[in-house]
A and B are shown apart, each in its own frame.
Chain A
Amino acid sequence: MSDERTPSAVPADASGPASPDVGGAAISASEAQATAPAASPAPRSNPRFPVGVDYHPIDAERASAVEWYEADTAADVAAISRTHLSLVRLFVSWPALEPQVGQYDHDAEDRLADLLEAVRARQMKAIVCFFADDRLAEMNDVPWGRKRDLRTDDYLLQREIALVQRIVNRFRTESAVWAWELGNEAFFAGFTREEDLEAWAQAMREAIREVDTARAIVFGAGVETLVRECGVDARGVRDGFEYGVSRVTAPYRAYAAEGPLTYGPATYLDSFVLRAGGTAVPTIADGIGVHALDVSVAEEAAYTRVALYSALMNGAAGAVLRRWRDVETERREPYFRDPYEVLVGLNDTAGQPKPVRTEAARFARTVAHFDLRRYERVPERAAVLVPAERYEPLPSLAGLYDPRSCLQAYIAAKEAHLPVDLVREGEDLDGLMTVIVPSAGTLLAATWSALAAFVRSGGSLVLSYGGGDADPAVRELFGVEFLGDQGVRRTLACRVAQPGLVGDLAAFDAQLDLPHYAALGSSGATVVATDATGSPLLTVHQYGQGRTVFLAAPLERAIAQSDPWAAPDAVRHMLRTIYGAIASAAGAGPVIDCDQPQVEVAVWNGETADVVMALSHAAEDLTATLTADRVVASVTDITGGAVVDVGAKAFGVPLGPNGAAALRIVYR
């Protein structure tokens, strides 16, 4: 940090859960109101980033499926509107609408019509979802289906098409319908073959298109979670839709980041899953909310705040929260004493708002003030490569190890404040300046060629050894001779041979279970760091116009498989230092730097000003010093409020636990 002054851009009490201005409000609300122009009414929503909620048809376990949307839906829609949410997902229940074969329930259809009318009356929009599986509402279980599989049975497929076309036809002129949607994770997870999934999705999509050629159709399951759930890769299918979704499901969380929700890996999981799904189609960050029953309402609110801001900061096309109202459960074991009232809705079972609803409203208001047409998010020039081997089934362990390694690499890159994305092996590397390959076992031959071409033309490549024999390409690309795998180690020692060459590395000894350690000889590369006995740990090599870095141990996998919430600081520091230094040198570094690794920063460029969002992944107060490459004249909260003069390149942003700030920055 230079000796320039670092004025605080916001009042000390302006963020954090203890303050009423928590979350998006970096400038206090009273300040904002005092100076907001009275003439222009505050925007209610952001068409480029809708914020919504799933509105489930049944909220009590004792209710039966036929009670589909029988509650006071108009009152709920009004309350959703008052929460500043502009989007609501409605679920079509097949048994409610077609209780007998070919006999449709007109009352049920009218209920849906009333609901859509209420949505329209509040200037909101709806996603109408077909064939979502739901444990409570049993929306796909038609009594006349006779246990046929609704995913593959020809007869049921015809009935499904008939239902979809009937509903779409009736509401195709309804302006409240923003999009039609097909399925959800629970439904799609029932597929075991890609071709079956593709056939079903294609048939339903065409059925809708025959009736409604204009409206968007959403593929209702996240592709990353679906691979994990049932091994089916739905990318190709999803890419044929106008929108996709990404959801952190409970099984995926248990797999990738089971642990505390308000700090550490869990706080990065939503954006990781969002990015892992790819950017081929706009993707809604969906299902935002907690799953565990022992999380307090405070943690629920804090986690949701992080997930919502993560969605915006990582390029989601919108955000949808998990549930409007808590489920009223039966008092049965082990939940008859629900320890901390966490049945995942924005409201309790009586419909009273929980703190998480306040968070949602505050976020929606902040987003509404952010005119995304005038700003362009800074493009990611760094990416973590997700190896193709992750799709291999058991007994290959790559499918289990790789996503976790990629998550840890992603977190380290975020801690280095790199604008970072995920790129799948085989995808184009155009536009990228740095590629990180974390602890992969094997890469395809074509990938080695592509990486070599990428580096030759000026890109930077960071690769950590993932075990097994190194590919012959390593020798030339990384300038190292692979001499074999030294096997398991219980500690990681680092001794810096070339200080300053790759960032500010420091010597350390740390306890970390390393599954592999490559024995390396130099074949042109510079050894930057070694273990305690001089065996190379980190090398850097000039190759063509670019640089390659080889890490002799699968650090990302070691962190993921050890204990990501207690990974040694020294190891994490080393990893983010390497990523940061290499990416910065390649022109893929942070646009606005930050002194706090746990603070994620996103930047949008505008013509007259930039927008910067800072999001704390720490569960404690901190002040982040943001540093631009030029002098910042002033900073304002994007929701309005006082202009804070800065006059320096750096300024401080106090953030409460899991706090966020959204600032408009004007340069001198």
Chain B
Amino acid sequence: MTAEEAQNLYRSFVDHDPASAIQVVERVRASGVTQDALFDTLYVPAMAFLGGAWAAGEIDEMAFTQAAVVAEQVGSFVMPSAARRDTGVTLVAGTMHRDHHAIGRTIVVATLKEAGYRVNDLGDDVRPSDFLERIEQTGARIVLVFAEMMATARAVVRVREMLLANGRDDVVVLVGGGPFVADAALARDVGANGVIGGAESALKLVARAARDLAASAEDGS
């Protein structure tokens, strides 16, 4: 069926009929093909038909160009979304008090935002109480604390202590920065649940933490 619809889409291109092309896309989508699969299953074969028709001389240069314009108009219906979907997971991130190293945190935060996480970036030089306050405000259950210096890395324990003192032992603390990468024991000592080794590692760890939190919420319900 999709092959047939690809042929129909191609015909719509050649006929310079964007409305009909959109109808083809909607029909295929209604048949159960997901948005992510539309490009490969429908658009790609239609474009190959178009290329073939031009190569065989079935359509001339002008028709080819006009068909390409229609294909462009329909493109937004079949392209996978560039923006990742909202995960619904809220995070709080910041660099520890007295620490002004921003680069690592910025890259990680931007990556998480791009991946659809709701990140509250508190910037650098963040006091433990500010982490707690934002967690309380946003309902976040995952906090990312960054530190690049030994003294500030050790001080991350104060974030955990403050969370515990306020009955927030349900918050997952992930830590990032050279001292933690060098010494996993340090992360344990400050009460962290995991060490972020970089942006991609943050994606994996946060996804896992979010999954675990969701599972425990389900178990509790």
Residues of chain A whose beta carbon lies under 8 Å from any beta carbon of chain B: 17-20, 296-302, 337, 339-341, 348, 350, 352-356, 358
Residues of B within 8 A of A337 (CB): 100
Given contacts A296-B178, A298-B178, A337-B100, contact A352 B184 (CB under 8 A): no
Judge whether A296 and B151 touch: CB under 8 Å.
Answer: no
Judge whether B150 and A20 touch: CB under 8 Å.
Answer: no
Q: Does B148 count as interface, using CB distance less than 8 angstroms?
A: yes
Judge whether B150 and A348 touch: CB under 8 Å.
Answer: yes
A355 to B101, CA, bound (A): 19
Judge whether A355 and B151 touch: CB under 8 Å.
Answer: no
A255 to B178, CA, bound (A): 27
- Distance in angstroms from A484 CB to nearest chain B CB is 53
Neighbour of B179 across the interface among A18, A20, A298, A339, CB < 8 A: A298
Q: Does B217 count as interface, using CB distance less than 8 angstroms?
A: no
* B-side interface mostly: helix
Judge whether B151 and A352 touch: CB under 8 Å.
Answer: yes
Judge whether B150 and A298 touch: CB under 8 Å.
Answer: no
Q: Does B186 count as interface, using CB distance less than 8 angstroms?
A: yes
Judge whether B182 and A17 touch: CB under 8 Å.
Answer: yes
Chain B, 162-196, contact with A by CB distance < 8 Å: what is the 0/1 string?
00000000000000001101111110000000010
Given contacts A18-B195, A339-B101, contact A355 B183 (CB under 8 A): yes
A20 to B183, CA, bound (A): 7
Neighbour of B150 across the interface among A17, A19, A354, CB < 8 A: A354
Give 14 A-B pairs besides A298-B181, A340-B101, A358-B185 with Cβ atoms closer than 8 angstroms.
Answer: A17-B184, A20-B184, A20-B185, A297-B148, A299-B178, A339-B101, A341-B148, A352-B151, A352-B154, A353-B150, A354-B182, A355-B182, A355-B183, A358-B183
CB-defined A-B contacts under 8 Å, sample of 6: A298-B181, A340-B101, A341-B149, A352-B151, A354-B150, A355-B186
Residues of B within 8 A of A299 (CB): 178
A17 to B186, CA, bound (A): 11
Residues of A within 8 A of B154 (CB): 352
A353 to B150, CA, bound (A): 8
Q: How many interface residues does B have (CB within 8 Å)?
A: 16
Residues of B within 8 A of A358 (CB): 183, 185
Neighbour of B182 across the interface among A296, A348, A352, CB < 8 A: A296
- Distance in angstroms from B65 CB to nearest chain A CB is 42
A277 to B151, CA, bound (A): 39
A348 to B151, CA, bound (A): 8
Given contacts A337-B100, A339-B101, contact A298 B151 (CB under 8 A): no
Q: Residue of B at shortest CB range from A16?
A: B184
Judge whether B178 and A297 touch: CB under 8 Å.
Answer: yes
A340 to B153, CA, bound (A): 12
Judge whether B181 and A352 touch: CB under 8 Å.
Answer: no
- Distance in angstroms from B189 CB to nearest chain A CB is 10
Q: Residue of B at shortest CB range from A347?
A: B150
Chain A-chain B contacts (Cβ-Cβ < 8 Å), number: 55
Given contacts A341-B149, A348-B150, A350-B151, contact A298 B182 (CB under 8 A): yes
A297 to B179, CA, bound (A): 6
Residues of chain B whose beta carbon lies under 8 Å from any beta carbon of chain A: 100-101, 148-151, 154, 178-179, 181-186, 195
Neighbour of A348 across the interface among B149, B185, B186, CB < 8 A: B149
Q: Residue of B at shortest CB range from A337?
A: B100
Judge whether A341 and B150 touch: CB under 8 Å.
Answer: yes
Q: Residue of A at shortest CB range from B184?
A: A18
A299 to B195, CA, bound (A): 16
- Distance in angstroms from A228 CB to nearest chain B CB is 31
Neighbour of B183 across the interface among A301, A348, A350, CB < 8 A: A301
Judge whether A17 and B101 touch: CB under 8 Å.
Answer: no
Residues of B within 8 A of A352 (CB): 150-151, 154
Instruction: Rank and list the top 4 A-B pairs by shortest CB-CB distance, nearest first.
Output: A296-B178, A355-B182, A298-B182, A298-B181
Neighbour of B148 across the interface among A18, A340, A350, A356, CB < 8 A: A340
Judge whether B181 and A296 touch: CB under 8 Å.
Answer: yes
Residues of A within 8 A of B150 (CB): 297, 341, 348, 352-354
Q: Residue of B at shortest CB range from A18?
A: B184
B100, B101, B149 pick with most chain A CB within 10 angstroms: B149
Given contacts A350-B151, A352-B150, A354-B150, contact A297 B182 (CB under 8 A): yes
- Distance in angstroms from B2 CB to nearest chain A CB is 43
- Distance in angstroms from B12 CB to nearest chain A CB is 49
A348 to B182, CA, bound (A): 15
Residues of A within 8 A of B185 (CB): 20, 358
Given contacts A297-B178, A297-B179, A298-B178, contact A19 B184 (CB under 8 A): yes
A298, A299, A339, A352 pick with most chain B CB within 10 angstroms: A298
A350 to B150, CA, bound (A): 10
A81 to B79, CA, bound (A): 65
Judge whether B151 and A340 touch: CB under 8 Å.
Answer: no
B149, B182, B185, B195 pick with most chain A CB within 10 angstroms: B182
A358 to B151, CA, bound (A): 15
Residues of B within 8 A of A340 (CB): 101, 148, 178
Judge whether B151 and A17 touch: CB under 8 Å.
Answer: no
A86 to B179, CA, bound (A): 26
Residues of A within 8 A of B195 (CB): 18
A449 to B28, CA, bound (A): 84
- Distance in angstroms from A499 CB to nearest chain B CB is 42
Residues of A within 8 A of B184 (CB): 17-20
- Distance in angstroms from A293 CB to nearest chain B CB is 13
A299 to B183, CA, bound (A): 11
Q: Residue of A at shortest CB range from B180?
A: A298
- Distance in angstroms from B124 CB to nearest chain A CB is 12
A341 to B154, CA, bound (A): 14
Residues of B within 8 A of A296 (CB): 148, 178, 181-182
Q: Residue of A at shortest CB range from B186?
A: A355
- Distance in angstroms from A360 CB to nearest chain B CB is 13
- Distance in angstroms from A25 CB to nearest chain B CB is 12
A301 to B100, CA, bound (A): 22
- Distance in angstroms from B42 CB to nearest chain A CB is 41
Residues of A within 8 A of B100 (CB): 337
- Distance in angstroms from B155 CB to nearest chain A CB is 11
Residues of B within 8 A of A350 (CB): 151
- Distance in angstroms from A561 CB to nearest chain B CB is 33
Residues of A within 8 A of B149 (CB): 341, 348
Q: Residue of B at shortest CB range from A341?
A: B149
Residues of A within 8 A of B151 (CB): 348, 350, 352
Residues of B within 8 A of A339 (CB): 101
A19 to B188, CA, bound (A): 11
A350 to B154, CA, bound (A): 12
A352 to B153, CA, bound (A): 11
Residues of B within 8 A of A18 (CB): 181, 184, 195
A339 to B103, CA, bound (A): 10
Residues of B within 8 A of A297 (CB): 148, 150, 178-179, 182
A302 to B182, CA, bound (A): 8
B100, B178, B186, B195 pick with most chain A CB within 10 angstroms: B178
- Distance in angstroms from B202 CB to nearest chain A CB is 15
- Distance in angstroms from A292 CB to nearest chain B CB is 13
Residues of A within 8 A of B148 (CB): 296-297, 340-341
Residues of B within 8 A of A341 (CB): 148-150, 178
A297 to B104, CA, bound (A): 14
A354 to B182, CA, bound (A): 9
